[in-house]
């Protein structure tokens, strides 16, 4: 009750607003937790399906490899030579994939701009810590900082 007996005081209004805001935040956090649990279950199920598909694909490749070797045997090649040809075919495919992967990894670089920006920020903070009022920041065209 307030000064007139029916109006709440400013302190009461602030306390009520704080309590309502706290309840709202708690409710939002619980909603986010529930949504994340559902999303995690769906993601786990999807990942399990992909793993099962990958396993079946490996089995299919093995069976197709055996079928290819038996086909070569049916053409008149000795069994050892037929299976050797299939193995060499897979080795060639593996070598090509390694070369492509190596070339791709060689072209991958780290976050160069972010590293450079972090170094500049550290230097600026060091300058502020030493008592300099105006830290020396270099203006970069992409940073939005103009001096």
Percent of the chain predicted with pLDDT > 90: 42
- Transcribe the chain into DSSP letters: --TTSSSPPHHHHHHHHHHHHHHHHHHHHHHHHHHHHHHHHHHHHHHHHHHHHHHHHHHHHHHHHHHHHHHHHHTT--HHHHHHHHHHHHHHHHHHHHHHHHHHHHH----HHHHHHHHHHHHHHHHHHTT-SS------TTT----
Can you give the pLDDT at residue 133? 52
- Tell me: pLDDT of 140 over 60: no
Residue 68 to residue 75: CA distance in whole angstroms: 11
Going 45 to 46 to 47 to 52, the CA torsion angle's sign is positive
Average pLDDT of span 115-135: 73
Please list, in sequence order, all residues whose beta carbon lies within 8 angstroms of the beta carbon of residue 79, skipping any fewer than 6 positions away. 69, 73
Q: Which of 47-51, 101-105, 125-129, 142-146 has the lowest average pLDDT?
A: 142-146
Give the chain's mean pLDDT.
84
Percentage of residues of the chain with pLDDT beyond 70: 84
Q: Provide the whole-model pTM.
A: 0.51
Closest CA to 138 of 122, 126, 120: 120
Report the interhelical angle of 10-74 vs 79-107 (nearest 10°): 150
Give the pLDDT confidence of 11-21 residue by residue, as tens digits: 888 888 888 88
pLDDT of residue 128: 76
> Which of the two residues, 99 and 111, has the higher pLDDT score?
99
């Amino acid at each position: 009750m307030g000064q007139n007996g029916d109006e709440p005081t400013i302190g009461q209004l602030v306390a009520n607003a704080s309590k309502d805001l706290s309840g709202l935040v708690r409710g939002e956090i619980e909603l986010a937790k529930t949504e994340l649990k559902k999303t995690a279950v769906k993601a786990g199920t999807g990942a399990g399906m992909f793993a099962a598909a990958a396993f079946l694909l490996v089995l299919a490749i093995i069976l197709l490899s055996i079928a290819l070797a038996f086909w070569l045997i049916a053409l008149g090649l000795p069994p050892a030579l037929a299976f050797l040809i299939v193995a060499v075919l897979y080795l060639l495919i593996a070598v090509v994939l390694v070369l492509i992967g190596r070339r791709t990894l060689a072209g991958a670089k780290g976050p160069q701009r972010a590293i450079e920006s972090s170094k500049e920020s550290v230097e600026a903070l060091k300058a502020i810590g030493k008592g300099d009022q105006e830290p020396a920041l270099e203006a970069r065209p992409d940073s939005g900082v103009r001096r």
